[in-house]
A and B are shown apart, each in its own frame.
Chain A
Amino acid sequence: MNWITNYVRPRINSIFSRREVPENLWSKCDECGTMLFHRELRDNQNVCTNCGHHMAITPRERFAAMFDGSVFNEIDVPEPIHDPLQFRDQKKYPDRMKAAQKKTGERDAMLVAEGEIGALPIVAAAQDFSFMGGSMGMYVGNAIIAGAERAVATGKPFVLFSAAGGARMQEGILSLMQMPRTTVAVEMVKEAGLPYVVVLTHPTTGGVTASYAMLGDVHISEPNALIGFAGARVIEQTIREKLPEGFQRAEYLLDHGMLDRVTPRTEMREELITILRMLMNQPPAIKGNLPAPEAPEAAPVAEAAVTAPEAEPKP
């Protein structure tokens, strides 16, 4: 320690830090470190334009990019009872919930909506990893059931984007019971003769993988997504050996026969349209200028609520 480290370096640092741009305009790619301008990143659905790394995307942003004209109708999810076990660890569960709701602006870790992709009407559900790690509790279970019921009632395919660490421990056994509950939901869609397509995104692990995420008619994953049942650390401790490079990554699962395809996010919409149209026995999608979809019938949801919150206001 001398005066250079104690005095000069902080001064130099403070000069440089002052020149940093506001945080919300630029984000750094977690993988290659490239600084990405927010608009460019949003247009590319949070995929790094330099290295192709897939960063997290909220359900709303995903839906805005996927549905025709960014138009979708949210499907109501029955509210479950709150804090059924009066769970308390270092924090109270309701406090954790409030913090997550404040952070994300969402009620819980899943958003369900209907709309059209390539003029094909679908029901879609997307899990929100930024909401308590996307964890599957009663709300997520209710959301999947609501989505499945809507798909069956309207004869639409059901597309589910998974992203979760696993079950929500704060709901104890009731979170575990979402495994059979969501399996019933998947069954309903399948029995109605409708496609159930799962898009596994980073990360999808634990009880989520061991239920609805692995029961799709078609399994597509985003590149490099972590997908598995047990955590890598637990496995290493159990078998006392290092795990191979790329273990539990999408490409690894593709090699081991657990996935149908690994597809970049930017190509996902087109791919879903292609697959779903074939499964629904529809003619090929008309590429080119699609007419803007009509306003959905029961459309109490305003445009502003429908598009991603960060989206620019429409002129």
Chain B
Amino acid sequence: MHYLEFEKPLAEIEGKAEELRAMGVANEEMDVDKEARALDKKASELLRELYTDLTPWRKCLVARHPDRPHCKDYIEALFTEYTPLAGDRNFADDHAVMGGLARFNDEPVVVIGQEKGSDTKSRIERNFGMARPEGYRKAIRLMDLADRFNIPVITLVDTPGAYPGKGAEERGQSEAIARSTEKCLKIGVPLVSVVIGEGGSGGAVAFATANKLAMLEHSVYSVISPEGCASILWKDAEKMREAAEALRLTAQDLKELGVADRIIREPVGGAQRDREAAIEAVGKAIAGMLDPLRKKDRDALIKQRRDKFLKLGARGLAA
């Protein structure tokens, strides 16, 4: 288990309980059970306490937690017959973006998502979930495919942002993102999206411009990272806590602003503590969003999506 900075007190208690149990195994005459259970109880109480009212900055940390289920985990667990389709037909296949045909509850869908990787090797291969233009162009191609065969699209959003690289700029990073957003708005099939971790700026918009958007309880979606915002507006990257607070980037704030349509409850202590439960909850939410959309015709789907974004910004948040 990887503990976040604010979870240090929890790590201590859980560490102690573990030590105690190890001692109990070593010396059979010692009765550690009662004490260990007391520690467990204390730990679970503390965990509950830590995760109620997480500050926005802590939510950012949880959203980026390396042990959270990632796109690949959701695809493997929630979809059958997943058949990856690769490449943008122009330049390359971007491994930061997974996508292909699959079945969701036995119905064919196109699933697309950003994958951050789960160990050093896969993180490098996936470029930490930061797509290049090829990734967005692959997504565009897959959305076109879905549109042509009347198959719904499900996108899973988890990216720090689009990759800031020389080649990415030369090959039209901004054009690729703009076209992907445009494609999201154009397709005449249901498009549902879930922010499973980090919704990083334009790189997320290119996938999340959906009929319905759900966000995991501790996920974030923002115009800029708190660190980036702090270094620009506070001229001090260390002011990320203040920036996270000011940006109103939590799922709860976004629901209130009408950007997110629903919030998916996470297990106590975050999705990383009970991955199966989190994945199952996401599956239910996708089904809940998708089913009513299947009954709508092409024009109604496009209109609903457009109207949703045109109307955004009609209400703000209180301080």
Interface Cβ pair total, 8 Å cutoff: 177
User: In the complex the two chains form, is A173's CB within 8 Å of B254's CB?
Assistant: yes
> Which of these, B163, B181, B253, B315, contacts A180 with CB under 8 Å?
B181
Q: Are B310 and A145 in contact (CB under 8 A)?
A: yes
- Flag whether A89 is at the interface (Cβ < 8 A): yes
Contacts of A106 in B (CB 8 A): none
Residue of A nearest to B239 (CB): A89
B224 near A169 with CB under 8 A, answer yes
Name the CB-closest residue of B to A191: B186
Instruction: Say yes or no for B316: interface residue by CB 8 A criterion.
Output: yes
User: Could you mark each residue 203-242 of chain A with 1 if its beta carbon is under 8 Å from any beta carbon of chain B, else 0?
Assistant: 0001101111111000000000000111100110011010
The residues of B that contact A145 with a CB separation of less than 8 Å are: 310
One of B59-67, B141-149, B227-235, B269-277 at the interface:
B227-235
Measured CA separation A62–B300 after assembly (Å): 40
Closest to B201 in A: A176
Q: Does A257 contact B (CB under 8 A)?
A: yes
Whether A180 contacts B205 in the complex (CB less than 8 A), given A81-B316, A187-B185, A229-B169, comes out as: yes
The answer to whether A181 touches B312, judged by C-beta atoms less than 8 angstroms apart, is: yes
Interface-forming stretch among B45-53, B96-104, B171-179?
B171-179
Complex: how many Å from CA A210 to CA B174? 4
Docked-complex contact A211 and B178, CB < 8 angstroms: yes
A190 → chain B closest CB, angstroms: 10
Chain B residues within 8 Å of chain A by Cβ, number: 55
Say yes or no: A177-B315 contact (C-beta < 8 A), given A89-B242, A210-B173, A215-B182: no
Q: Which of A186, A210, A230 has the most chain B CB atoms inside 10 A of its CB?
A: A210
With A85-B317, A174-B313, A183-B182 in contact, is A230–B209 under 8 Å at CB?
no
Residues of chain B within 8 A of A141, CB atoms compared = 313
Contact with B309, one of A85, A89, A180 (Cβ below 8 angstroms): A180
CB-defined contacts of B314 to chain A, threshold 8 Å: 81
Q: List 17 A-B contacts (CB under 8 A).
A: A80-B313, A85-B248, A87-B246, A88-B246, A90-B234, A169-B233, A176-B223, A179-B205, A180-B184, A207-B201, A210-B174, A215-B178, A230-B169, A230-B173, A231-B164, A238-B164, A258-B172
Q: Which 4 A-B pairs have the closest CB atoms?
A: A84-B316, A230-B164, A209-B174, A89-B233
B contact residues vs A (CB 8 Å cutoff): 162-166, 168-175, 177-179, 181-182, 184-186, 201-202, 205-206, 209, 221-224, 229, 232-234, 242-243, 246-249, 253-254, 257, 259, 306, 309-310, 312-319
